Structure 1
């Protein structure tokens, strides 16, 4: 009573460890609080209920309506989205885009088609289909995926 409590008994190293632990815990508590605050207050990406998909290309984010995409084609580790204006090269897999692009039909191992843009098709002697698109381009559909396209 009335005397100072010195649990370190004059040992400077124990005193530094004790004070450092207290300060370190307080610092971690502040970090955890600010991390949680950022997570709660950061804006959430809005779900696109109007059929648009988000694509990132050339350092920018675009929101494309599914009708804008005529067809998608695999290009190595990328997917080339063919639009009416110009093609867009996006990093990803074709199977990933097949899940995202509802209503599209796989017509080839490396190609997805938006059936809205299919103007006509002609069967070739090998069983493949030559499809004419709404913009006049022609693409080939593999006979392996022929039934999926014709039953759509």
Structure 2
């Protein structure tokens, strides 16, 4: 499981022109689910995301987590994170989990992050064509792979 975490000052997510989700200061997390992922991958990544200290403290050092700044979180499933591009120019997505496997893990991630952060998170819609607008703060972008702890 791969998470691409962007520290943002704001973000919105639209589906077919309608606002689905909106956050202020916090994280936009793009989540890729691999065919070999399990509940253990969810637990590992959720703990890392919830504890990630990438907000500035009073000295300007990245030393503060999401809860300390009362930040929000927008979680978006993104199967393209497991694209294979070695052969040709058209990506292959064979390593991405199929919906019947990925949806339960995505829903578990929503539940687990909500519990760890202590408030409801915003989400996209699994499999939908989504448009995300965000202001990356820093910019700060962190990638965490549960298979490479």
TM bracket, shorter-chain basis: under 0.3
Structure of higher CA gyration radius: 1
TM normalised by structure 1 equals: 0.20
Structure with the larger helix share: 1
Higher relative contact order, structure no. (Cα contacts within 8 Å, ≥ 6 residues apart)? 2
